């Protein structure tokens, strides 16, 4: 198993070679490390956590030409090629198909403990200091505005609406990042997220204060 997981890691590294900093192999490694930390404290199948973390973004809709829910298809091909056992492959597919955030008003799909661990770890990397950096990198790479007070955040009710929205980056905090703390499913995840959430709140307070300097003119 160790051997196959090492091979899987190399294959995933190659797959992410040309991705930007919001979604590169370093993101995958940070998610893997966070997931392993949560698993160490909370239990669950370590091999499944590793494979799930490595494959959780393997076919993201933002990078695959817009196909939603395609992770499982690609994960299946890769794991079969590396000759993982069928049961294990099924468990990974279920995990990577359910892992994504699909909108503020869309409930997370429930599943295994390993799903909860990988999902918490993935979300951990979207919040806090690194999360802020990734969000502005994402917006910058698409030439989006930092902020526009006239364009208000939305609570998306479907994955399709959420996926096609092209709002400014500050809205992303209200549409996703600030909601993640309360959607953590493991105790360790909740503890880690509390600190990162405060970093974002402080950041937004400063950002809006600087943005509204005109108020000092009155
Ligand atoms: P994850 O890897 O956590 O599943 P996503 O695939 O949704 O996250 O997005 C990758 C990164 O880009 C995350 O850090 C996320 O916050 C950021 N991102 C996604 N959509 C937007 C957006 N509309 N504006 C700014 N940042 C975004
Ligand atoms: Ni991810």
116, 190, 139, 211 alpha-carbon torsion, rounded to 10°: 160
Nearest CA to 54 out of 81, 69, 33, 80 is that of 33
Pocket perturbation via mutation, ligand 1, pick of 126, 130, 151, 166 by most ligand atoms within 8 A of CB: 126
Rounded distance, CA 155 to CA 174, Å? 9
Residues 189, 38: contact at Cβ < 8 Å? yes
Longest dimension (CA), the chain: 69
Q: Which ligand 1 atom sits nearest the alpha carbon of residue 176?
A: 16
- Could you tell me which of 103, 99, 105 has the C-alpha nearest to residue 185? 99
pTM over 0.85: yes
Cα gap 192→118, rounded to integer Å: 14
d(CA 76, CA 84): 10
Dump pLDDT digits (tens) for 10-59.
999 999 999 999 889 999 999 999 999 999 999 999 999 999 999 999 98
Q: What is the mean pLDDT of each run of 10 residues along the chain (218 residues)?
A: 96 93 95 98 98 93 75 94 97 94 92 97 98 97 96 92 92 97 97 98 98 89
Quote the ligand 1 centre to 111 CA distance (angstroms): 22
Ligand 1 atom nearest to 166, measured from its CA: 23
The average confidence (pLDDT) of the chain is: 94
């Amino acid at each position: 198993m160790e051997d196959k997981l090492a091979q899987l890691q190399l294959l995933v590294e190659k797959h992410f070679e040309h991705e930007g900093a919001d979604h590169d192999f370093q993101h995958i490694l940070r998610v893997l490390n966070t997931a392993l930390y949560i698993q160490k404290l909370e239990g669950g199948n370590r091999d499944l956590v590793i494979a799930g973390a490595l494959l959780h973004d393997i076919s993201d809709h933002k990078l695959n030409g817009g196909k939603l829910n395609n992770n499982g298809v690609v994960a299946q091909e890769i794991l079969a090629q590396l000759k993982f056992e069928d049961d294990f492959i099924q468990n990974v597919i279920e995990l990577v198909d359910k892992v994504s955030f699909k909108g503020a008003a869309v409930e997370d799909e429930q599943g295994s403990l390993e799903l909860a661990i990988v999902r918490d770890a993935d979300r951990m990397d979207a919040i806090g200091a690194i999360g802020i950096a990734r969000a502005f990198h994402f917006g910058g790479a698409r030439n989006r505005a930092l902020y526009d007070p006239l364009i208000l955040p939305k609570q998306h009710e479907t994955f399709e609406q959420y996926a096609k929205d092209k709002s400014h980056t500050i809205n992303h905090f209200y549409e996703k990042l600030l909601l993640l703390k309360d959607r953590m499913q493991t105790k360790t995840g909740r503890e880690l997220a509390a600190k990162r959430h405060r970093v974002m709140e402080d950041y937004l307070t400063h950002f809006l204060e600087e943005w509204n300097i005109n108020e000092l003119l009155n």
